[in-house]
Structure 1
Amino acid sequence: MLKWKLNIKGVIYLSHIISNEELVSFQKDLISRKESAVNERAITKNGILASSYDWHAVSETTPVFSIDLDTGDVANQKQSGRCWMFAALNTMRHDMAKQLGLKKFELSQSYTFFWDKFEKANFFYENVLRTADQPADSREVAWLMATPQQDGGQWDMLCALIEKYGVVPQTAMPETYNSSKSNEINTVLNRKLRQDAVALRQMVADKTDDKTIDEKRTSMLSDVYRMLSYSFGQPPVKFDFEYRDKDNNFHRDSDLTPKEFFSKYVGWNLNDYVSIINAPTADKPYDKTYTVDMLGNVVGGRSVKHLNVTMEDFKKLAIAQLQAGESVWFGCDVGQSSDRQKGIMDLNIYAKSELFDTDLSMTKAQRLDYGESMMTHAMVITGVDLVNNKPTKWKVENSWGPKVGEKGYFVMSDTWMDEYCYQIVVNKQFLPDKLKQAQEQEPTILKPWDPMGALA
C-alpha cells in the first residue's frame, strides 16, 4: 500500500506499508518455486556460505605462479588488528633476510604497536581540541568519539612511526598478551580517551588558557604512556642485535638505537614509497591525489597521501615491483568472496545470487559509495601468474599464521583484485612520468568517513 508522507525537512516522499495481500502473494511465490524446499533444507542446516560454495573456484586457483618470490614463513598477528603493520614490516624483513642470510626473523610488531597507540592518543587529543567548538552530536565529534583509537592503520602511518621511532627486531621487544590479544587494552584506553575528551572540551568551553590546557594534555599523555608500558612493556632505547646467518655464522651488533637499526639494517628511504589506490567513484578522478581529514597518528609527522589510478595502471605497477624482486604491500576487503581456510579469494567461490535467485551485483564504485565494501585488511603480494603478459592470479602472504591457506599463503584471482583491492604501495621508480607528476600534486582533502580513510 502506497502513501505520501512528509519527512522531517518537509519533503514529500512515497511510503510503502506492507499489506496482508502482499504477504499472501510472497508466500505463494515462494511455494511455487520447485527449489524452495531443497534450498531451505540446505541453508538452514549448513548456512549460506557452505550452501553456495562452488568447488570449481578451487581448481582454478592452484598456488603456482610464473613470478614467485621466496619470502619465508608467514607471521601471525593473532587476535589483534595489526595486519597493516605486519604486512609493512614483512616487506622490510624480506629484504633484510636476503641481505643478511637470515632463516627465521621478524621485526617487532609490538614495538610499533606501542608507539602507534601512544601517538594515536595525542592525535585524538589534537582533533578533540580542534573540534571543541562543535556540539557533541556534530558528525565530526561523533565520528571521533565512536572509536578514539584502534589497531588498524595505513602505510603512511607506519612510515610516520618509523621515521620518528625506528624499528627493532622482535627479540628486542617480544610479543605480550596485550599485543597479541588487543581487545582489553583497546577497551580501557578508549574509555580513558573519551574521559579525557570530556575534560578537554570542558576546559575549552570554560575559556581555560592554552598553557593550562597543554599541561593537562601532557598529564593525560603521561597516563597513556604508563598504561601502554604496563601492557606491552617499555620500548627499548638501546639494544644488541644478535643473529646467526644461513651458514651458521654468529653476528652481534651492540648498543644500537631503534633509528640506527632501521638505517643500518633496513636502509629504505621511505619517501620513495607511495600509496596507490583504485577508487572508481565519481568524486575521485584518476591521476589525482587525495588525503583524508583527521586520518593519521603522528602529529607533525608524515600525512596520508593516495594517488588514484586506473586498475590497469594499478596492476602494472604491482607487476613491475614484483619483477624487480620486491614484494608489494596491499590493502583489500578480505572478507568478500573468500575462503579463509583454503586461502582462496575468488569472485566465484560462493554463488549467492544463484542460491537466492536474486541479483546481488554492485559495481566497485557503488560498493564504496554505499558502504558495502572498503579496505579491511592488509597483506603482501609475493607473486603473480602471467599468461601472455596478463595476470591471472596473485600469490599473497597473509599474517594469520601457517594453519590457513597454503602454509599461510593465499591465492587471489585477478578478477577478485579488480573488485576488492583498493591500495598498493610501490617505489616511485616504477611510476611512469605521467604518474610521477600526478603524485607530486597537492592532495584533495576527503571527509573523515570517506572509504579511502578505512584502516586495515
Structure 2
Amino acid sequence: MDGTLTVGDLERLRKDFSASPVYRLAQNAVTRVSVDDVAISRDLVSSIDHSVSTTLDDWKVTNQERSGRCWLFAGLNLLRVGVMRKTGLKDFEFSQNYAMFWDKLERANYLLEAIIETANRDLDDRTVAFLLESAASDGGQWNMFAALVAKHGLVPKGYMPETQSSSNTARMNSVRRYQLHQGARTVRAATAQGPAAARAAKADIMQVVYRILCIHLGTPPERFDWQWTDKDKKFHRDGVLTPQEFAAAYVDLPVSDYVCLVNDPRPSSPIGRTFTVEYLGNVIGGPPVIYLNVDMQVIKDVAAATIQGGEPVWFGCDVGKMMSNDYAFWDAELYDLPAVYDTAFGLDKAARLAYHETAMTHAMLFTGVDVLDGVTRRWRVENSWGSDRGKDGFYTMNDSWFGQYVFEIAARKSALPAGLRGALDAEPIVLPAWDPMGALAR
C-alpha cells in the first residue's frame, strides 16, 4: 500500500468514465467548445438586467492593458470624478504611469529595507523567500495608493502618458526583478559591516532602479502648466503647478481618511478586529495597510449608502470566478460546473481562503447599485480593461456574487457604524506576509 497508481487502478478509472453516457456527452461538448459555454446557466442569462436604481458614471472606462495596475486605476478612477465635476471636463484621466513610476521606486526601497531587516535569516526562511519571490509585483492596496498620493501627488495623463512598458510591464519587471535580486544579495552582505554600510549599498541600487524606471516609463514631471477647455468650450488656466499642488487643488475626497473594510470569514479572523499583513506596503513612513474585518452586510450597507450619496466605491475581489465578459455579468451560480463534472464544488468562502482557492485578485470601482425596499440586488462596476470587454467596459454584479467573491472596500471612516469606529484604534493582528489578505498587492 505505497500509494502508487496501479494498472488495476487505471483500468477502473477508464471503465468508470466509459460506462457513463453523461460523461461521454460532456466530453463531446467540452472538447469542441469552452466549458463555460457548456456550463453557463441559461436561466440566469435569460434574466440578466443591467439597470440599477442609482448610477453615477457618465464617462468612458480606462484600460490598464497588460499590467497589474488595477488598484491604481481604480483609485485614480475614483478621484477623477471630482476633477471632472470641478473643471467641467467631459472626460479626464490622471497619469497612471506617473503613479506607477513612484510606486515601483518606493516599492524597491521598501523591499530593500525589508531585506536589511531580515538579513540575519537564512535565504530559505519563508518570509525572506516570499520577499524575493514578490520583488517586482505590479499590484497594490488602497493604503498604498493613499500613500503615493500623499507623498508624490498626481498629474493629468497628458503630462506623463503611457509608454510601451507601462502598458505591458512584463519585460521591465523582469529587468527590475533581476537587479533587485542582485541588490538583495549585495545588501545582505553589506549588513555585516553595519546599518550604514547596508544603506550605502541600498543607495547605489536605488540609483539603478530609478534609471531603469526612467528608461522604461519616462521621467516624472516636477511641475507642469495646467490649462484646459471644458465641455462648454470655455478656456481655463491655473498656472504652473507641482504634482502635489495639483492633487491638493483638484482631489476633492479625503483620501487619507478612508479605511479598508474586509470580509474574512476564516475562524482565525475575528469580526470587529483590525489586521495588517507583514511587509505589505510601498512607502516607508507612509500609512500602514490596515483592514477592519466586518460582516459582509456591513460592507454592502456602507457601499450602497456611499453610492446613493453620489460617490463611487473602490473595492477588491476575486474577479475571475463565475464571470462572463460576453454578458458583462457576475453571479455566484453563473456556471453549473457540478452538472458538467458530476462532482461537488462545496468549499465556502472561508474554506476557499484557507485552501488557497480564492484571494483578492483585482480592484475596480462600484459606480451604481440597485436597491429595492432597502435590499441590494445588483451592482454596477467600472472595470479598467478597456471598452472592448463587458458592456462598453462596465459590468453588472448580482448580490450573490458580491457576498462570495468581494473581499474589501475603501470607505470614509465617518461611513462606518458608530460601534465599529472605535475598533480602528486597536492594535492590529499581524498576518504573515504570504497571507491571502495581501494577495492584491502581488
Shorter-normalised TM-score: what interval? Answer: over 0.9
From 364, 380, 383, the equivalent of 2:368 is 383
Aligned twin of 1:231: 216
Residue 91 of structure 2 is aligned to residue 137 of structure 1:
no
Q: What is the CA–CA distance in structure 2 between the aligned matches of 1:60 and 1:422, rounded to whole Å?
A: 26
Q: What is the CA–CA distance in structure 2 between the aligned matches of 1:451 and 1:196, rounded to whole Å?
A: 27
| 2:89 counterpart letter in structure 1 | L
From 59, 71, 81, the equivalent of 1:84 is 71
Deviation of 1:102 (Å): 1.1
From 299, 312, 325, the equivalent of 1:340 is 325
**Any residues of structure 2 matched to 1:280-429 within 5 Å, and which?**
280-429=265-414
Aligned twin of 1:155: 142
1:61/1:412 contact within 8 Å kept: no
SS at 1:412's partner residue? Answer: strand
1:71/1:382 contact within 8 Å kept: no
Deviation of 1:212 (Å): 2.4
Q: Deviations over 1:102-145 (max 9, x none)?
A: 11110110100000000000001011111111111110111111
From 132, 145, 159, the equivalent of 1:172 is 159
Aligned twin of 1:101: 88
98-107 or 370-379: bigger deviation: 98-107
2:323/2:329 contact within 8 Å kept: yes
Structure 1 portions without partners, runs of 5+ = 4-14
| TM-score where L is the length of structure 2 | 0.97
Q: What is the CA–CA distance in structure 2 between the aligned matches of 1:178 and 1:149, rounded to whole Å?
A: 14
| 1:386 counterpart letter in structure 2 | V
1:274/1:427 contact within 8 Å kept: yes
| 1:373 counterpart letter in structure 2 | T
Q: What is the CA–CA distance in structure 1 between the aligned matches of 2:410 and 2:340, rounded to whole Å?
A: 37
Q: Deviations over 1:66-103 (max 9, x none)?
A: 11113411001111111100000001101221222111
Residue 236 of structure 2 is aligned to residue 251 of structure 1:
yes
SS at 2:157's partner residue? Answer: coil
Aligned twin of 2:50: 63
Deviation of 1:59 (Å): 2.9
| TM-score where L is the length of structure 1 | 0.94
CA gap 1:359/1:71 in 2 versus in 1, 3 angstroms: same
| 2:220 counterpart letter in structure 1 | P
Aligned twin of 1:10: none
Q: What is the CA–CA distance in structure 1 between the aligned matches of 2:210 and 2:9, rounded to whole Å?
A: 60
2:74/2:363 contact within 8 Å kept: yes
1:61/1:393 contact within 8 Å kept: no
Q: What is the CA–CA distance in structure 2 between the aligned matches of 1:283 and 1:292, rounded to whole Å?
A: 14
From 99, 102, 108, the equivalent of 1:112 is 99
Q: What is the CA–CA distance in structure 1 between the aligned matches of 2:285 and 2:144, rounded to whole Å?
A: 12
Residue 13 of structure 2 is aligned to residue 18 of structure 1:
no
2:316/2:440 contact within 8 Å kept: no
Q: What is the CA–CA distance in structure 1 between the aligned matches of 2:352 and 2:76, rounded to whole Å?
A: 30
| 1:47 counterpart letter in structure 2 | S
Q: What is the CA–CA distance in structure 2 between the aligned matches of 1:224 and 1:157, rounded to whole Å?
A: 19
Q: Deviations over 1:329-384 (max 9, x none)?
A: 00001011111233211122211111010001210000001100000000000111
Deviation of 1:209 (Å): 3.2
From 35, 50, 62, the equivalent of 2:22 is 35
Aligned length: 441
Aligned twin of 1:9: none
Residue 418 of structure 2 is aligned to residue 433 of structure 1:
yes
Aligned twin of 2:35: 48
Aligned twin of 2:61: 74
2:326/2:390 contact within 8 Å kept: yes
Q: What is the CA–CA distance in structure 1 between the aligned matches of 2:369 and 2:54, rounded to whole Å?
A: 5
| 1:308 counterpart letter in structure 2 | N
| 1:177 counterpart letter in structure 2 | Q
Q: Deviations over 1:181-238 (max 9, x none)?
A: 111110100000000011111222xx21332222221111111111111111111111
2:136/2:174 contact within 8 Å kept: no
Aligned twin of 1:121: 108
Structure 2 portions without partners, runs of 5+ = none
Q: What is the CA–CA distance in structure 2 between the aligned matches of 1:413 and 1:231, rounded to whole Å?
A: 40
Measured on the aligned residues, the alpha-carbon RMSD in Å equals: 1.3
Q: What is the CA–CA distance in structure 1 between the aligned matches of 2:57 and 2:437, rounded to whole Å?
A: 31
Deviation of 1:435 (Å): 1.2
Q: What is the CA–CA distance in structure 2 between the aligned matches of 1:299 and 1:42, rounded to whole Å?
A: 54
From 213, 226, 245, the equivalent of 1:260 is 245
Deviation of 1:431 (Å): 0.9
Q: What is the CA–CA distance in structure 2 between the aligned matches of 1:340 and 1:398, rounded to whole Å?
A: 11
| 1:26 counterpart letter in structure 2 | L
